[in-house]
Amino acid sequence: MSFKTAARETLQDAQLRRNIGKATTLIREKRLRAVAELPDWERLRDAGEAIKASAMATLPEQLERLEAAVTAAGGTVHWARDGAEANAIVASIAKRVGTDEVIKVKSLATDEIELNEALEAEGIHALETDLAELIVQLNPDDKQSHILVPAIHRNRAEIRALFEQTIARGQSLGNEASAIAEAARLHLRNKFLTVPMAVSGANFGIAETGTIGVVESEGNGRMCLTLPRVLVTLMGIEKVLPSWQDLEVFLQLLPRSSTAERMNPYTSLWTGVTPDDGPREFHLILLDGGRTQVLEDEVGRAALHCIRCSACLNVCPVYERVGGQAYESVYPGPIGAILTPQLRGLDAAPSLPWASTLCGACYEVCPVKIDIPSILIHLRGRVVREEQSKLTPEALAMKGMAAAFATRRRYEAAQRLARLGRGPLAKAAIPGWTAMRDLPEPPKETFRDWWKRERGEG
């Protein structure tokens, strides 16, 4: 389904628009206040952009350093070319551990490869422990609609009703947010203490030390990363940072851009395994999943600098009105419009680069200065050149015009033919071109014809 068609459907949901509009307005205002506290915010953005560019320019070297450091610290590194390989690795570890259930930290990378569905096919249930992810998981017909707040399209009353039908069946939770959250805590607590294996994503992987970092707000991540005896982390290869010192920049940029906080409530950093402290096994899966293909595009590769803060979603007028589900990707909003077509292939999401007004608000708030509008325009050009059929009437018409303009003789012949194709017939021949603009009517007599008639000269 094209973005245009999907957006037309979601625009019919007035409740969804109200929920998203209210939430994004609140986050925008909080972010402005949090960013204004730092006088060197723009210099931090410059530093973030430079670090990411450097990491991508030396990616093979950084990944090899990361692998060596993790291995030296007692961890095991796996390489996955695509989602199928990554899913198979996670499933094989779970089977060896002997568990039919894993607990999960919120992870876009695992959503991207549809890990939950792949594990379910192997008889292994993946339980989401992030509150918003849990809300989405409890409703089989629901989908994530925001990078940071996957259930942003649900209001409190809808969540309360969902919980009373599922994890708090038979209870009356009332309308207090604390009571609704408590129902989720009670549901998850036993799982934290008994499930032997956890799966997480990663915000950062430090090549210098082999340290992996996860930031979150609820504490569920800390429970997953410390209590189970086996921890598996799936990390996109673009998340690598060269040095420990680089964290200084990103741990200032990320919380202010995402949740409008000075620092994340929970910042978990771990390096391999430590005897008698935390998981006894640590596996790091490095996922390509189309990322090396994105790196081949000199303009589009900047999309890999994204640190998943979702600031661009919260300022996007298109996202605010259609919601995240219209993008049909785990990466909605402006960043999804440039990331999804590149990861999946332009043929799989050709309409997403047009899901923007090009107002530039996304670039102004991006903490690593990804020029999203320029990449959108670049991708639009690529879609037209590479994916739209060369057999469309418009494409054939343009080829014909190019041939006609090549010589004077052809040009004059084309002028005579053009007079035969005036009116509705010509418009019907190139419907895409004429849908949004008028087709100029050729004059009854060209200047050359007039000159010949008046002067008799060629």
How far from 140 is each of 106, 116, 224, CA to CA, in Å? 17, 12, 24
Left if phi > 0, otherwise alpha if psi is -120 to 50, otherwise beta: which for 308? left
User: 27 in helix, strand or coil?
Assistant: helix
| Domain count for the chain | 3
The answer as to whether 177 is a domain residue is: no
The answer as to whether 405 is a domain residue is: yes
Last residue within a domain, chosen from 289, 312, 327: 289
Q: How high is the pLDDT of residue 49? A: 98
Task: Clarify whether residues 379 and 398 are in a common domain.
Answer: no
238-295 tens-digit pLDDT: 999 999 999 999 999 999 999 999 999 999 999 999 998 999 999 999 999 999 999 9
The answer as to whether 156 is a domain residue is: yes
Task: Clarify whether residues 130 and 261 are in a common domain.
Answer: yes
Last residue within a domain, chosen from 329, 364, 387: 387
Contact 151, 132 (CB under 8 A): yes
φ, ψ (nearest 5 deg) of residue 213: -125, 135
Task: Clarify whether residues 258 and 379 are in a common domain.
Answer: no
The answer as to whether 90 is a domain residue is: yes
Q: Quick one: pLDDT band at residue 457, thresholds 50, 70, 90?
A: low
The answer as to whether 443 is a domain residue is: yes
Q: Quick one: what percent of the chain has pLDDT higher than 70?
A: 94
Task: Clarify whether residues 346 and 209 are in a common domain.
Answer: no
Task: Clarify whether residues 222 and 351 are in a common domain.
Answer: no
Which range of residues forms the domain containing residue 441? Answer: 393-455
φ, ψ (nearest 5 deg) of residue 249: -75, -50
| Residue 385 confidence (pLDDT) above 90 | no
Task: Clarify whether residues 378 and 397 are in a common domain.
Answer: no
Task: Clarify whether residues 370 and 406 are in a common domain.
Answer: no
For the record, the structure tokens of 393 come out as 């009437």
The answer as to whether 4 is a domain residue is: no
Q: Quick one: pLDDT band at residue 391, thresholds 50, 70, 90?
A: low
The set of residues, in sequence order, having a beta carbon less than 8 Å from that of 211 and lying 6+ positions away, is: 69, 205, 244, 269, 270, 271
Instruction: Please report, for the domain that includes residue 354, its CATH number.
Output: 1.10.1060.10
Q: How high is the pLDDT of residue 177? A: 87
Instruction: Please report, for the domain that includes residue 124, its CATH number.
Output: 3.40.50.10420
User: 243 in helix, strand or coil?
Assistant: coil
What are the DSSP calls for 303-365, one per residue?
GGG-----HHHHH-HHHHHH-SGGG-SSS-HHHHHHHHHHHH-TTTSTTGGGS----SHHHHH
Task: Clarify whether residues 201 and 275 are in a common domain.
Answer: yes
| Residue 229 confidence (pLDDT) above 60 | yes
Contact 337, 353 (CB under 8 A): yes
Last residue within a domain, chosen from 229, 254, 289: 289
Q: How high is the pLDDT of residue 423? A: 60
Q: How high is the pLDDT of residue 140? A: 85
Q: How high is the pLDDT of residue 430? A: 65
Task: Clarify whether residues 278 and 365 are in a common domain.
Answer: no
The answer as to whether 128 is a domain residue is: yes
Q: How high is the pLDDT of residue 389? A: 62
Contact 188, 163 (CB under 8 A): no
93-125 tens-digit pLDDT: 999 999 999 999 989 999 999 999 999 999 999
Q: Quick one: what percent of the chain has pLDDT higher than 90?
A: 67
| Residue 386 confidence (pLDDT) above 60 | yes
Query: What is the distance between the alpha carbons of residues 45 and 27, in angstroms, rounded to a whole number?
Result: 19
Q: Quick one: pLDDT band at residue 54, thresholds 50, 70, 90?
A: very high
The answer as to whether 15 is a domain residue is: no
Q: Quick one: pLDDT band at residue 404, thresholds 50, 70, 90?
A: confident
Task: Clarify whether residues 132 and 273 are in a common domain.
Answer: yes
| Residue 458 confidence (pLDDT) above 60 | no
279-332 tens-digit pLDDT: 999 999 999 999 999 999 999 999 999 999 999 999 999 999 999 889 999 999
140-194 tens-digit pLDDT: 888 877 887 788 888 888 999 999 999 888 888 888 888 888 999 999 998 999 9
| Residue 9 confidence (pLDDT) above 70 | yes
Q: Quick one: pLDDT band at residue 10, thresholds 50, 70, 90?
A: confident
Task: Clarify whether residues 305 and 364 are in a common domain.
Answer: yes
From 228-242, 249-263, 410-424, the region with the lowest mean pLDDT: 410-424
Task: Clarify whether residues 397 and 382 are in a common domain.
Answer: no
φ, ψ (nearest 5 deg) of residue 223: -65, -45
12-28 tens-digit pLDDT: 888 888 888 888 999 99
